[in-house]
Structure 1
Amino acid sequence: MYISANLKSICKNSGGIVANPSNPLIIQSDSSLLLEVYNEKFEIVRNELTKFAELIKSPEHIHTYKISALSLWNAAAAGVTLNGILDFLNTHSKFDLPQNVMIEIKTIYNRFGIVEIVKYEQNPTKLILNIKDSNVEKEIISNPKLKKFLIEKIEPQKYLINLLERGDLKIACFNYNIPVYDIAGYTDGEPLDIKIRDVALSGHRFKLRDYQLMAADAFYMSGTNMGGHGTIVLPCGAGKTIVGIDIMSKIKTNTLILCTSVSAVHQWIREILDKTHLTENEVGEYTGDKKEIKSVTVCTYQILIYRKSKEDDFTHFSVFQSNKWGFIIYDEVHLLPAPIFKITGEIQSTRRLGLTATLVREDEHEKDVFCLIGPKKFDTPWKVLEKQGWISEAKCFEIKLPLPKEQLMEYLIADQKVKFNIAAKNTLKYQVVKDILLRHYGLSILVIGHFIDQLKEISEEIKAPLITGKTVNSIRDQLYKKFRNGEHKVLVVSKVANFSIDLPEASVLIQLSGTYGSRQEEAQRLGRILRPKENNVSYFYSLTTRDSIEEEYAHKRQRFLAEQGYSYEIDFWKQEEIIWDNKD
């Protein structure tokens, strides 16, 4: 049996007796959980912890998790039972579960479902807020910010609320640790007979994978009011688009799909036409290039939030009312812009699905996704799908480089922001990119970064095409197509390629620079190379400057992937070890 020195210290300082020394988990009285990495039960425990706890930090030996209200309520909505959580913690903890933690978990978990929004049959413009606990009722009535939503008391513990304030009420209650379970049902959209093909138009037999079927069923819930709203979390490359299409075929109604980019719009349209019996006359594109409203319409977030000035209205918000939508899909829901949150709060009577690889939001608005789109309905660990062969095995490397002498003095005297820019633009990175390209010669390789000037320089040095936000959509599509068919083996891309780009051939990604400590960006970039492929192995390289502020941000970026079981092999490169010199 192995117990790390860190855990020995914790055990000693706690004054407790290790009742189950072979277990990997220590549960502390502040609801933090310490998980020992080098324990034979680590992987099993980690996969279960992610269902009801959040990873806080993940250094080499001990990972720290935190049980929060949001993590518990998402677990409750996904069907994880209270007894299941408590039994799991008791079974895998070195010590007895602290009594205060047990009480807190029970208190928070049991709040889920106490307050419900249900349908009011007598008036379609009103709903009923059903409060099952008298203490919670008093809490709501005594709080002016919550009481303002209550129009009239119609029965004991039942109040009328306005239909259009449904979303605002849920957010307001959440802010006071009162989750609202919305089972008021939905307004039916225009019927649309959507059928999935057994053989795709591309000629391949088409069948959903088991986990895709489970995800779709968890959301749909046999068409009851218990389903119809929520978020599905699956790794990049696991086929979230297919899950969305399957749910469309169950609901069978006019559908609005919101995406992050025009390329993603085109990808959705290709998949829908390929996998269903819908025709081009029934599937429309609403972007800066086209303005089509059809039975199924796919548009970008950017076009929806466009306005001439901050004082003007959002010109294209009319899309939400332009058709009798019965279903809205929010692709990459973790990127949902604030104005879309606002209008989503006003259309809570429409079935809505969020799709994402990670619910992490750098603006900490995860609660808005929970309240307005719906709770997490399905999640599966990335490593589980990797073992099953549904996504590629990823080998991750962090290559740490020294800063050249000519940049070092400038770095030392700069402020924090400039320090980051200098470190991220370390010129030695160009030589390392060439080295990696040579090592993986013949494979399809993406070089991605944050700084456009840096990307232009590397594009010229390695003579590879470049895609940025300013690249017109038609050229982007041509370059992506050439990359997919092997005509271009290397493609340099900015952050426009972070999301919803289907490049299954990509098996190597080199990250020159990133958006500070963004965990979601790191996960999405890894996702560009996770599509299953012939040898099913991919390589992810993150280039950072050693002993710099960029190194600190890199560790923050890697946190979500660490939660999913990925580890980075650290490689320290010296300037003289790089096979290319600046003359090349």
Structure 2
Amino acid sequence: MNLEEIRKSFEEGLSKLDELIEELKSERNRLKAEIESKLNQLQLNFIPEELESFLEEPYIIMPRRKDEFYVIVPKFINFHIGWLERQTKSYNIFVINRYTQWLQPLPEELKKKLQFPDQPPFKVIDGILFTSKEYQDEAWRKYRKYLSKREGDDRIRIKKGYEFELIAKLIEDGILPFIPQPVDKINLREWDGIKLRDYQKYAWDEFIKKGAIGIYWAFGAGKSLFGIYALARIKGRKLVVVPTRTLIEQWKERIVKHIPEYINEIDLITYHSYHKVSKNQYTLVIFDEVHHLPANTFIRLSTIKTKYRIGLSGSPFREDGRENYIFALTGFPVGTTWEELLKKRIVREPTFRVYLVKDRGEKLKKLGELLKIPSKTIIFCDSIELGKTISNKFNIPFVYGETKDRMSLIKESQTCVVSRVGDEGISFPEIERVIEVAFLAGSRMQESQRFGRLMHSQKREPEHIILMTEEEFKRYNKRLYAITERGFGIEVVR
């Protein structure tokens, strides 16, 4: 390209930028006029200059606790960040903290206002806290309960058995205390059975450079396939740790399908079976659905002897606020936004509908009406007694704790009832509809897991339906924030 062509290209770019600026100004003026018109209709007095200020900064930032803030935004603004704590009729109230910026970029204006303080460059490896000479006294004073003795003027020995707790505390203070430990070439082999997408390639490169990562992608974005890819590429003994026996079945199925030649290298256990592998040594451990670990389990699992670690989760946020445990167990966080995945059509956007009914009998009646419309459906029901009732009434199978071959039964059935054992990680591209009949109170985590099943769907318009009584809606509508915080709308039908 010669100089003249570069000049023309530059001028065209500036012209397009000018057009975009004019469009934004026009849209801002339109919005302002619309708000003014509405205020006048309501016969409300308002100060035009203050309206101008509102349009420049249409949000409120309020401290919640140390290094954590509320961001309060009017609902009519399509803006979502961090963790949606609650909603009013007209406002979304989000919570953001240090972890938010590790997973998604914060708008520059917000970053300036939040001003998270810089933290000392503390690092932990092999039972030693590296502090640098400048910060050793501060580290000794602040983290004394976890520390044994100073070694030289830039490091401190950690008390035996306290390394994980110290890492969790450092993360809570906003410090990522990990030292990258690149994957050794002798632990790698060639394998090209799965073609990685761009963001998966980025995550793999991060893993190769750092040796320990937590992957936080939307449901259906390919976390498990990334795990399979890692199991294939890393030599030696590997371990996959999952929350439920249902997920063990699914991992077995994927391993047999994609990497049968490596099946004898891989152990599969639930989180409760730590004692079975506590003395083993592994090249790689994968922690699946890591956000559901009970707090006391993290410390035990952190003692598994492994060279490399990968954590997989649809969300690092926990309802008990112990996100620091997740990062401490898995390593450097790698995230991507829902907007990006939806835009690329990597995950599907379901339609969401809540039907409000009088009582349980009305729930069953409404369920019967819905089942007259044929589609591949999972009915989630936490109550074993109600699940059996639905199974008998509509002559469909019920999958719960005592059911054998759960995955096969779900896959082969056009419609089936599934208890809480199906909340986590099950992935069927044929699913067209999820119906919730009974659920765990206001649990947002459960709600996100359940609608996440539809993110795996290859159908064009998957549907998520929740049957609630008016009383349940009043008491437990907090669980619906799991949907609205990601920018999805919900139709409520009475």
Fold shared by both chains (TM-score > 0.5): yes
Judged with a 3 Å threshold, the aligned counterparts in structure 2 of structure 1 residues 212 and 60 are, in CA distance, closer, same or farther, namely farther
* Correspondence for 1:274 among 257, 276, 282: 257
Distance 1:13 1:33 in 2: 24
- Residue of structure 1 equivalent to 2:487: 565
- Residue of structure 2 equivalent to 1:413: none
**Corresponding residue SS for 1:393:** coil
- Residue of structure 2 equivalent to 1:579: none
Matched, 1:35 2:23: no
- Residue of structure 2 equivalent to 1:351: 308
CA displacement, residues 152-172 of structure 1 (integer Å, 9 cap, x when unaligned): 333334223357532122124
Distance 1:498 1:34 in 2: 31
Matches within 5 A, 1:439-458: 440-441=373-374, 443-458=375-390
Q: 1:117 touches 1:128 (CA, 8 Å); kept in 2?
A: yes
Distance 1:402 1:303 in 2: 43
* Correspondence for 1:392 among 322, 334, 348: 348
Distance 1:32 1:533 in 2: 36
What letter matches 1:87 in structure 2?
Answer: E
Matched, 1:538 2:462: yes
Count residues in correspondence: 453
* Correspondence for 1:433 among 325, 345, 367: 367
The structural deviation recorded for 1:16 is 8.8
- Residue of structure 2 equivalent to 1:264: 247
Matched, 1:127 2:128: yes
Q: 2:84 touches 2:94 (CA, 8 Å); kept in 1?
A: yes
Q: 2:282 touches 2:306 (CA, 8 Å); kept in 1?
A: no
- Residue of structure 1 equivalent to 2:223: 240
* Correspondence for 2:409 among 466, 476, 479: 479
The structural deviation recorded for 1:106 is 3.2
- Residue of structure 2 equivalent to 1:342: 299
Q: 2:285 touches 2:306 (CA, 8 Å); kept in 1?
A: no
Judged with a 3 Å threshold, the aligned counterparts in structure 2 of structure 1 residues 168 and 481 are, in CA distance, closer, same or farther, namely same
Judged with a 3 Å threshold, the aligned counterparts in structure 2 of structure 1 residues 391 and 88 are, in CA distance, closer, same or farther, namely same
Q: 2:128 touches 2:155 (CA, 8 Å); kept in 1?
A: no
Distance 2:242 2:62 in 1: 42
Q: 2:428 touches 2:457 (CA, 8 Å); kept in 1?
A: no
Matched, 1:401 2:402: no
Distance 1:301 1:187 in 2: 25
Q: 1:369 touches 1:375 (CA, 8 Å); kept in 2?
A: no
Q: Which runs of 5+ in 2 are unaligned?
A: 1-30, 40-44, 64-68
Matched, 1:378 2:314: no
Runs of 4+ aligned residues of structure 1 deviating over 6 Å after TM superposition are 12-16, 186-190
Distance 1:265 1:116 in 2: 35
Distance 1:337 1:555 in 2: 24
* Correspondence for 2:110 among 66, 89, 94: 89
Judged with a 3 Å threshold, the aligned counterparts in structure 2 of structure 1 residues 36 and 251 are, in CA distance, closer, same or farther, namely farther
Q: 2:214 touches 2:310 (CA, 8 Å); kept in 1?
A: yes
- Residue of structure 2 equivalent to 1:158: 155
Q: Which runs of 5+ in 1 are unaligned?
A: 91-96, 119-124, 198-205, 284-293, 305-316, 404-425, 484-488, 573-584
What letter matches 1:482 in structure 2?
Answer: E
Judged with a 3 Å threshold, the aligned counterparts in structure 2 of structure 1 residues 178 and 506 are, in CA distance, closer, same or farther, namely closer
Distance 1:133 1:36 in 2: 45
Distance 2:222 2:183 in 1: 28
Judged with a 3 Å threshold, the aligned counterparts in structure 2 of structure 1 residues 502 and 70 are, in CA distance, closer, same or farther, namely closer
Distance 2:249 2:190 in 1: 19
What letter matches 2:443 in structure 1?
Answer: S
RMSD: 3.3
- Residue of structure 2 equivalent to 1:196: 192
Distance 1:210 1:456 in 2: 44
CA displacement, residues 156-191 of structure 1 (integer Å, 9 cap, x when unaligned): 34223357532122124445x263512173897994
What letter matches 1:508 in structure 2?
Answer: R
- Residue of structure 2 equivalent to 1:419: none
The structural deviation recorded for 1:347 is 4.1
- Residue of structure 2 equivalent to 1:55: 84
**Corresponding residue SS for 1:181:** coil
TM-score (norm 1): 0.70
The structural deviation recorded for 1:556 is 0.8
Q: 1:196 touches 1:275 (CA, 8 Å); kept in 2?
A: no
* Correspondence for 1:555 among 445, 469, 477: 477
- The share of aligned pairs that are identical, in percent, is 22
- Residue of structure 2 equivalent to 1:217: 205
CA displacement, residues 53-108 of structure 1 (integer Å, 9 cap, x when unaligned): 33222345321123323434x34xx7x5xxxx462438xxxxxx7xxxx3x5231x
The structural deviation recorded for 1:149 is 3.3
* Correspondence for 1:331 among 288, 293, 297: 288
Distance 2:168 2:475 in 1: 31
Matched, 1:321 2:304: no
Q: Which sits farther off after the overlay, 562-571 or 164-173?
A: 164-173
- Residue of structure 2 equivalent to 1:508: 433
What letter matches 1:115 in structure 2?
Answer: F
Distance 2:48 2:157 in 1: 54
The structural deviation recorded for 1:33 is 1.6
**Corresponding residue SS for 1:505:** coil
CA displacement, residues 354-394 of structure 1 (integer Å, 9 cap, x when unaligned): 1111223233322211222235312321x432332222230
The structural deviation recorded for 1:207 is 2.3
- Residue of structure 1 equivalent to 2:141: 142
**Corresponding residue SS for 1:34:** strand
More helix per residue: 2
- Residue of structure 1 equivalent to 2:122: 115
**Corresponding residue SS for 1:528:** helix
Judged with a 3 Å threshold, the aligned counterparts in structure 2 of structure 1 residues 555 and 384 are, in CA distance, closer, same or farther, namely farther
- Residue of structure 2 equivalent to 1:295: 265
Judged with a 3 Å threshold, the aligned counterparts in structure 2 of structure 1 residues 228 and 19 are, in CA distance, closer, same or farther, namely farther
What letter matches 1:567 in structure 2?
Answer: G
Q: Which sits farther off after the overlay, 242-251 or 19-28?
A: 19-28
Distance 1:395 1:56 in 2: 22
- Residue of structure 1 equivalent to 2:59: 26
- Residue of structure 2 equivalent to 1:517: 442
Distance 1:215 1:13 in 2: 50
CA displacement, residues 476-504 of structure 1 (integer Å, 9 cap, x when unaligned): 24412413xxxxx2111111111121222
Distance 2:218 2:174 in 1: 30
